[in-house]
Amino acid sequence: MSNVVAVTDATFEQEVEKNDGLTIVDFWAVWCGPCRVIAPILDQLATEYEGKLKVAKLDVDANIKTSSRFNVRSIPTLLFFKNGKVVDQIIGALPKTNIEQKITQHTASQQTA
């Protein structure tokens, strides 16, 4: 997990909600096939957007409190946080281009603000 940060119930607030800028949190589980499909895509995006974007992963089986708090019912779920607030989501394993569109959408409004 190159530039991807593993977060837990205990570290979620500090790593995600107190982070300025855009953070993508990947809610995943070890047994989830589609989660394994998007993991390398998220690694690539974390590297390509280093300094502009933070990518975090939260294991739903080990961190039930945070998963329940954000009403995560299906995995993978990607929640997009901007300055600590949820601004978007993707449910399911979508292609890299779909994820990049969301990143561009939320980082573009960051630059104009």
Is 15 a catalytic site residue? Answer: no
Catalytic residue among 7, 22, 25, 35, which? Answer: 35
- The partner residues of 78 in beta bridges, in order of sequence, read 26, 90
Tokens 């933070």 correspond to what residue?
54
Cβ contact 58:26 at 8 Å: yes
- The partner residues of 57 in beta bridges, in order of sequence, read 6, 26
Q: How far apart, in Å, do the first and last CA atoms of the chain sit?
A: 31
Is 32 a catalytic site residue? Answer: yes
Q: CA 59, 60, 62, 65: dihedral to nearest 10 degrees?
A: 130
Catalytic residue among 7, 24, 25, 32, which? Answer: 32
Whether the upstream peptide bond of residue 34 has omega within 30° of 0, thus cis, is no
Residue positions annotated with a catalytic role: 32, 35
